[in-house]
Amino acid sequence: MLEKNDEKAISDAFHLPVAQIYQCTEGFLAISDKTTNNLIMNEEFLIIEKEWLDENRFVPIITDLLRHTQPIIRYRLDDILIEKKTSGAFTELTTIEGREGDILYGRKDSVNIPIFADTIRQKMASSPMEFEDYRICQYDINNFSIQVFPELLDSSKLIAHLNQLFIQIDCDIPQWHWQTYEKKECHIKQRRIMSTMITRNK
């Protein structure tokens, strides 16, 4: 699913709303609603169980009612979905936040505290610094790499802004390691927030 700024850029360029489809190997999972333009899950043909991570976020577990040659029965995806609370018959999504494996973590009293990608996105969006793109990667607990385009004249302001998030959730202040921004090819999926941590001691 497109991030809001990317969706707006495409919508502004073509002067049309952007309709989206949520589809993967496991099937056709959701499509944009014509009225709200939010994704509506395909629960007419799928059983979608929800493994809740908090009051709004869940990991979907899919059972396809129509497949015969390659049955999909209680298949747990790695995606994190954010539900929009409505009175409708089908689940409506605010966004697809990312992969469960790319949850970032802060450290508090020897315990890893999950920080969801949308929390980082909101913090970057509220930054006092102006930039076009960024990439944040956690490669170890309390160690993050950060890339920003174009380069900032004073990176310390952005670091202080990000550290406010860790202070708010009462976690240790991490180490931030600046890297030169690596531009991705247009056909490669953009992942602005990701984790390469191998183990997480929860």
pLDDT tens-digit map of 24-80: 888 899 999 988 888 999 999 999 999 999 999 999 999 998 888 888 999 999 999
The CA-based dihedral angle spanning residues 79, 177, 162, 94, taken in that order and rounded to the nearest 10 degrees? -20
pLDDT digits (tens, 9 = 90+) for 85-120: 998 899 999 988 888 878 999 999 989 999 998 899
Domains plus CATH for the chain?
A: 4-99 (no CATH), 103-195 (3.30.300)
Distance, in Å, from the CA atom of 105 to the CA atom of 112, rounded to the nearest integer, reads: 6
Q: Is it the case that residue 188 has pLDDT exceeding 80?
A: no
**Separation of alpha carbons 17 and 14, rounded Å:** 8
Q: How far is Cα 76 from Cα 62, in angstroms, rounded to an integer? A: 6
Tell me how far CA of residue 118 lies from CA of 35, 40, 73, 97, 103, in angstroms.
Answer: 24, 20, 29, 6, 10
Residue 199 confidence (pLDDT) above 60: no
> How high is the pLDDT of residue 51?
96
State in Å, rounded, how far the first CA of the chain is from the last one: 29
Residue 202: which pLDDT band, with cuts at 50, 70 and 90? very low
Q: What's the pTM?
A: 0.73
How far is Cα of residue 54 from the mean position of the Cα atoms in its chain? 15
The distance of Cα 21 from the centroid of its chain, to the nearest Å, equals 16
